[in-house]
Structure 1
Amino acid sequence: MLRRNPTRIELKLIDIEKEYEVMKKERENQQNMASTSTDTPTTSKTKTDLIHERIGYDPKPKISSTKCHIVN
């Protein structure tokens, strides 16, 4: 296997400005979406609820659908 010399990656000011503009537009869009959806009722979730939602934990007990039937 041939070893290649490392290449230099240069970050230019123009690239940073473009990325900043894209991020700024996305943030404005999100704020506009949030402001238009204020007519829906919001529920305040606790910190533990947010953590459970993020990791996919559902603390509600699952109902068992299997029942024991005795057949004579």
Structure 2
Amino acid sequence: MLRRKPTRLELKLDDIEEFESIRKDLETRKKQKEEVDVVGISDGEGAIGLSSDPKSREQMINDRIGYKPQPKPNNRSSQFGSFEF
């Protein structure tokens, strides 16, 4: 393995200004998202997710992540293939 001298990183004024602007953008987005969440809960949208039956909650989660479960077959031949007993 070759060893090299450590490089020196310098923090410039432009870098600091860019960081501050990005941080402010993220903070404003976070505040807007929190306001939307608070409005959604007061309108009753949040209450649906909390108090509904587990099937619909599971369905909401599956829709959100894009999971589409396949129905399970109930007959014995599908469980064991084409074996004869």
TM-score (norm 2): 0.43
Higher relative contact order, structure no. (Cα contacts within 8 Å, ≥ 6 residues apart): 1
Greater percentage in helix:
2
